[in-house]
């Protein structure tokens, strides 16, 4: 089953001679549970693509389906609710709320949706992310790796159809980078979580199930990685 389907997506900024074609007729699918990495140089269009998949930006043409739903056919309010419930985000800068503890940051998307947190699942995530002893700490009391692990937990807590990771290791050293990538792979395997991550690092890309490359707005499927 394909959790993500991108169909002939283009994105153009400006018009006439000043037009910038960030994406050109991009199409691909990602099946449930696959860990896909999108690589590309700065300015290649990979961040624009991720933002469109996450409904943070709108395409100039084309369609995006998440879990079978055409997200740009939804009304704005419905799309906001759908995004909150079905798409998890992991950012390079962590984006944790500084006044909330690790546990509160992780639960925030559930509470924002006026739902009751699954305490058993929360405890499971805290253990898997090695954050049980840090659950009452504020982000400012954590290392960069611990903050990113908390951000991963926040993305996983709603059991979203899709997780989008935007250079999630960009602010981490090599040890924490390896740990974060291992946790993302574990989430893909253990929870059958579908993950699309962008990175400029070819070595990180090789740890994924499949690599896509964006160059000058065009997408090329580089195929599956060997175990």
The predicted pLDDT at position 109 comes to 92
Q: What is the DSSP letter of 99?
A: T
Helix (H, G, I), strand (E, B) or coil at 191: coil
Residue 96 pLDDT: 95
pLDDT of residue 136: 97
What is the spatial distance between Cα 99 and Cα 7, in angstroms, rounded to a whole number? 40
Total residues belonging to the chain = 227
Tens-digit pLDDT profile for residues 28-86: 999 999 999 999 888 889 999 999 999 999 999 999 999 999 999 999 999 999 999 99
Sorted by where each starts, the structural domains of the chain and their CATH numbers stand as: 30-58+73-224 (3.40.50.300)
Residue 226 pLDDT > 70? no
The enclosing H or E element of 105 equals: helix 102-112
- Specify the pTM: 0.91
**Confidence check: pLDDT of 227 > 60:** no
Query: By the 8 A CB rule, do 194 and 21 touch?
Result: no
CB 67 within 8 A of CB 86: yes
């Amino acid at each position: 089953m394909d959790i993500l389907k991108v169909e002939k997506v283009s994105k153009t900024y400006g018009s006439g001679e000043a037009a910038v074609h960030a994406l050109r007729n991009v199409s691909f699918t990602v099946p449930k549970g696959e860990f896909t990495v999108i690589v590309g140089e700065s300015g290649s269009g990979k961040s624009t693509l991720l933002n469109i998949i996450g409904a943070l930006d709108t395409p100039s043409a084309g369609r995006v389906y998440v879990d079978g739903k055409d997200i740009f056919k939804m009304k704005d309010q419905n799309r906001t609710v759908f995004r909150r419930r079905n798409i998890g985000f992991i950012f390079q800068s962590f984006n944790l709320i500084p006044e909330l503890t690790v546990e509160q940051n992780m639960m925030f998307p559930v509470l924002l949706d006026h739902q009751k947190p699954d305490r058993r699942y929360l405890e499971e995530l805290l253990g898997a992310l090695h954050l049980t002893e840090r659950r009452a700490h504020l982000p400012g009391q954590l290392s960069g790796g611990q903050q990113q692990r908390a951000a991963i937990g926040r993305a996983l807590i709603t059991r979203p159809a899709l997780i989008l990771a935007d250079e999630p290791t960009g602010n981490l050293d090599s040890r924490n980078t390896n740990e974060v990538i291992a946790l993302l792979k574990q989430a893909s395997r253990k929870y059958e979580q579908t993950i699309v991550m962008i990175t400029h690092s070819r070595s990180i890309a090789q740890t994924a199930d499949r690599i896509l490359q964006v160059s000058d707005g065009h997408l090329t499927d580089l195929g599956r990685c060997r175990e």
